[in-house]
Amino acid sequence: DAGITQSPRHKVTETGTPVTLRCHQTENHRYMYWYRQDPGHGLRLIHYSYGVKDTDKGEVSDGYSVSRSKTEDFLLTLESATSSQTSVYFCAISESRGQGANQPQHFGDGTRLSIL
């Protein structure tokens, strides 16, 4: 397994509460990603990071924020959770070798988040 740890693995919380998910890597890879996976939609990119303090939005970024203060950690925050954010969240990492072909992404084990 690529050295990726997601925490927590499961969380149940109430609407309106803040939630932070953590992704920790030991591979020293430059790129880190947060996805959500829902039935019928596949994997959708929320935010990604291309270096410390360098982040950008993905396809479904509304309602989410991220931070990356160290190479190894990428945090995803739901400031005020809503039921529509109930999902499975995956973190992924990849190396970068400049322009041209992308390097494969490797995924963590996921966090199952339920918002009641």
Partner 1 sequence: QKEVEQNSGPLSVPEGAIASLNCTYSDRGSQSFFWYRQYSGKSPELIMFIYSNGDKEDGRFTAQLNKASQYVSLLIRDSQPSDSATYLCAVNMEYGNKLVFGAGTILRVKS
Burial class (CB in 10 A: 0-12, 13-18, 19+), 116: exposed
Interface with partner 1, residue 62, by CB under 8 A: no
- Residue 97's Cβ-side half-sphere holds a number of Cα atoms within 13 Å equal to 6
Q: In terms of residues, how long is the chain?
A: 116
Interface with partner 1, residue 28, by CB under 8 A: no
* β-strand pairing of 42-51 with 4-7: unpaired
**Distance in Å, CB of 107 to partner 1, minimum:** 4
Nearer to partner 1, 80 or 102 (CB): 102
Nearer to partner 1, 70 or 97 (CB): 97
Sites for partner 1 among residues 33-52 (CB under 8 A): 33, 35, 40-45, 48, 50
Binding mask 84-103 for partner 1 (x = CB under 8 A): ------x---x-x---xxxx
Reading phi first (left if > 0) and then psi (alpha if -120 to 50, else beta), residue 86 is in beta
**Distance in Å, CB of 16 to partner 1, minimum:** 28
Q: Which residues pair with 50 in a beta bridge?
A: none
Residues at the interface with partner 1 (CB under 8 A):
31, 33, 35, 40-45, 48, 50, 56, 58, 90, 94, 96, 100-110
